Amino acid sequence: MQETSTQDARRPLEPQVRPRSVVVRAGAVLAVAALALTGCGAGDSGSEASDPVKIAALYPLSGAVASQGLDTLHGAQLAVEIVNGDHPTIDLPLAAGKGLPNLGGRTVDLLSVDTQGDPQKGASDADQAVTGKGAVALLGAYQSAVTKAASQRAERLEVPFVNGESSSVELTERGLKWFFRTGPSDATFAQSFFDFLDDLKKAGKSTQKVAIFHGNEDYGNGGAKITTDLAKVRGYDVVADVSYDVTAADLTSQVQQLRSADPEVVFVLSYSDPATKLVAALKQLNWYPSGLLAYGGGFVDNAFLKGVGTDADGMMTRSSWSAEIAEKRPAAKAVADLFQQLYGAAMTENSARSFTSAMTLMQAIDKAGSTDSEKIRVALEATSIVGESTIMPWTGIDFDEKHQNSGAQGVVEQLTNGSYQVVFPDSVASASARWPFHPAK
């Protein structure tokens, strides 16, 4: 396992590293008193009662989706920075004051682990983080297939695993006791997309014939099924389902299959590398559907946006976070500004979702007043956070019986001159949707 602590991994934050506190014990009486004051439960004894609480963050920091993995890691790191530091001007739980108050002010140490996008390695990493490094809980792992394997291992270890970025519906359909998802699933995003298409249809736009374009892996296949099933329920015609190998060097032949089916709308499930290749193939063939609706977080990745330039203008994506909406909410704006300051890049949906999952986990640990796994799990189940106490445009964070956040929501954004504008729903839209979509010439 390639692992570094928060202090080692978050290079922009190195000047702000704080030394670990030192516990001076003068006999058993003082040790017992210290435990009482910190409110720690089972497993919090001796010097451990003041050591940082270790949380492991499992993300792909090398390989094809490394840029998204690093962006996602930065979101979790920023959450830890806010909790460990004193940020009274940020109106979020645990921002004011240093550390976790119900654990005597203990700080959090985020162990950054590179899964390399490999499910088997992700599962092994989860094991090593818990049994070898002392992590009391896990975050991650961006890619649904890796999250699936790593969270299954966490289930065996009986350690909480909180996910913010993976949207495969299957993840919360496994009956797991220790897995929790704060972000929306593809089912939520699909509902948002079809609500949007229904509105366009009422306005006289052509949206009836839809196609699905997706990677041949857990995330892509699961999202394709959800989209197909919902399309039929909502009365749309699925004219093509085209899958691709996520390692393919070129997607021209697959796009030709799409063109042959002549869809009016194409749903895409893709990470950033295939997304870039899709844009290149569309341009090469000079063929565009009326609308391209992208599920994948790859379409909001800064590396993707820089790579495609204006060639992707007009494409749409679902999002659980919007920079435009964040500008209107003081806490979200403060967090996004701090992210830009520390990492030299704009906060994205990916980093906002990992930030939220990390904040949710740390609030549960604080509420538990303990690093005991079962107490943290119970605190997660009892989580109830109002939307205003997050940076997300959601009703809040409340886990249902499957441990899916029922308060997570999605908006539809359209790419215009290199940046996204919210076009649906009307209550938060800043622009009208361009339909049919045409890339800039």
CA distance linking residue 195 with residue 235, whole number of Å: 12
CA distance linking residue 93 with residue 331, whole number of Å: 10
Cβ-contact 403, 179 below 8 angstroms: yes
CA distance linking residue 165 with residue 182, whole number of Å: 8
Q: What is the pLDDT of residue 299?
A: 87
Query: Among 391, 397, 427, 399, which residue's Cα sits nearest to residue 411?
Result: 427
Q: What is the pLDDT of residue 48?
A: 62
Helices 349-368 and 373-381: crossing angle in degrees, nearest 10, is 120
Q: What is the pLDDT of residue 434?
A: 93
- How, if at all, do strands 384-386 and 396-398 pair? antiparallel
Domains in the chain, please, with CATH?
A: 3-184+327-398 (3.40.50.2300), 187-319+410-424 (3.40.50.2300)
Query: Among 177, 143, 145, which residue's Cα sits nearest to residue 161?
Result: 177
Cβ-contact 389, 111 below 8 angstroms: no
Query: Among 378, 379, 355, which residue's Cα sits nearest to residue 366?
Result: 379
Query: Among 317, 293, 347, which residue's Cα sits nearest to residue 422?
Result: 317
Q: What is the pLDDT of residue 7?
A: 43
- How, if at all, do strands 3-4 and 108-114 pair? antiparallel
Cβ-contact 403, 181 below 8 angstroms: yes
State how far the alpha carbon of 58 is from the alpha carbons of 36, 93, 317, 401, in Å: 33, 24, 25, 25
- How, if at all, do strands 137-140 and 108-114 pair? unpaired
Q: What is the pLDDT of residue 440?
A: 55
Helices 252-261 and 272-285: crossing angle in degrees, nearest 10, is 60
Q: Report which secondary-structure segment, H or E, holds 155.
A: helix 144-157
CA distance linking residue 300 with residue 321, whole number of Å: 11
Q: Which residues of the chain have pLDDT under 70?
A: 1-49, 296-297, 439-441
Residues 6+ apart with CB under 8 A from 271: 64, 65, 68, 143, 215, 246, 296, 297, 298
Residues 6+ apart with CB under 8 A from 19: none
pTM for this predicted structure = 0.81
CA distance linking residue 206 with residue 262, whole number of Å: 12
Q: What is the pLDDT of residue 43?
A: 43
Q: What is the DSSP letter of 20?
A: P
The torsion angles phi and psi of 98, rounded to 5 degrees, stand at: -105, 130
CA 13 to chain centre: 22
- How, if at all, do strands 265-269 and 291-294 pair? parallel
CA distance linking residue 221 with residue 210, whole number of Å: 16
